[in-house]
């Protein structure tokens, strides 16, 4: 079972009229002002999954600042999950500082969505290390045993449109505040895995997973081998960041990384299946 843990789709009406969303949504405008920046519908995602040999995808809505836009996107994800059962695991999104955020997440989990995310603090106007801001959603995730997926960025290196000010120490602070929370730090957690070589950090991050979304744009392909040696294969999730990258390209990179069949299997879908089934709070 191959599971891509990091893909994005939009309702077709948002794709058709993207310029209308930009005045109120800075992060969205930054990423999608260029008409060549691709946005995909659920149908396009399914077609790409078929081409790439992906059985199931975790599907994330855009981290809008507006609750109303998140609601529209969440409803579209829930609809898509119903239309392609077993292929789409939708995650719910809501701007944590919005008074209606927790109620919206509860609505979505009731509709069968499987997690929360991708939260992007720099887009949604909150600080990941601000416990009060995150608590309502973190508590819901804990209660329902679902993961929360968060966009983290590297504090060093080249600039790009999605590079944010939310760097590894913010993710670490979150994990320390909510030890029972199942966390998925996107984009290799901005480099957080390296610090798991510190025993106390390793213990604080017992509930953390890392996805490889956009990895070919960020890291040398050696990152898979290095990450497995630090973390073990059980904390790593294959993610593409489709439509930014094709899942097939990312798959091929993992398959050529020199890992064992068991390691590759865990990363490509075994770990994801365990998380989505709600089994075991901690990867290790
Ligand atoms: Zn991201």
Q: Evaluate whether 48 touches 243 at the Cβ level (below 8 Å).
A: yes
**Tell me, what's the pLDDT at 278?**
82
DSSP 3-state of 108: helix
Q: What is the CATH number of domain 3-276?
A: 3.20.20.140
177 C-alpha to center of ligand 1: Å? Answer: 22
Share above pLDDT 90 across residues of the chain, in percent, rounded to a whole number: 96
Question: Per-residue pLDDT for 249 more than 80?
Answer: yes
Question: Per-residue pLDDT for 281 more than 50?
Answer: no
Write out pLDDT tens, residues 99-131: 999 999 999 999 999 999 999 999 999 999 999
> What residue segments make up the domains of the chain, in order of their start?
3-276
275 C-alpha to center of ligand 1: Å? Answer: 19
Write out pLDDT tens, residues 66-104: 999 999 999 999 999 999 999 999 999 999 999 999 999
Q: How many angstroms separate the Cα of 79 from the Cα of each of 43, 59, 84, 112, 145?
A: 12, 12, 9, 10, 22
170 C-alpha to center of ligand 1: Å? Answer: 15
Q: What is the mean pLDDT of residues 187-214?
A: 97
152 C-alpha to center of ligand 1: Å? Answer: 7
Q: What is the mean pLDDT of residues 25-30?
A: 96
């Amino acid at each position: 079972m191959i599971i891509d843990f990091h893909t994005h789709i939009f309702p077709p009406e948002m794709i058709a009229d993207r310029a209308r969303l930009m005045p109120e949504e800075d992060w969205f405008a930054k990423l999608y002002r260029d008409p060549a920046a691709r946005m995909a519908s659920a149908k396009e995602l399914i077609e790409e999954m078929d081409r790439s040999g992906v059985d199931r995808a975790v599907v994330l809505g855009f981290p809008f600042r507006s609750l109303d836009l998140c609601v529209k996107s969440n409803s579209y994800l829930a609809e898509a999950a119903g239309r392609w059962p077993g292929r789409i695991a939708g995650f719910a999104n809501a701007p944590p500082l919005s008074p209606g955020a927790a109620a919206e997440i509860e609505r979505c989990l009731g509709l069968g969505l499987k997690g929360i995310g991708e939260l992007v603090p720099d887009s949604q106007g909150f600080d990941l290390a601000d416990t009060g801001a995150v608590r309502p959603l973190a508590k819901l995730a804990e209660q329902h045993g679902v993961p929360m997926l968060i966009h983290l960025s590297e504090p060093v290196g080249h600039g790009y449109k999605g590079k944010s000010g939310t760097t590894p120490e913010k993710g670490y602070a979150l994990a320390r505040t909510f030890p029972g929370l199942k966390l998925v730090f996107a984009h290799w957690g901005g480099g957080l895995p390296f610090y798991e070589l510190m025993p106390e950090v390793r213990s604080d991050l017992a509930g953390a997973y890392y996805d490889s979304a956009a990895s070919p744009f960020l890291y040398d392909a050696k990152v898979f081998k290095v990450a497995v040696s630090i973390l073990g294969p059980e904390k790593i999730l294959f993610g593409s960041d489709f439509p930014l990258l094709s899942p097939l390209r990312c798959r091929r990179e993992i398959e050529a990384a020199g890992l064992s069949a068991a390691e590759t299997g865990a990363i490509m879908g075994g770990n994801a299946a365990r998380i989505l089934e709600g089994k075991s709070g901690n990867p290790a």
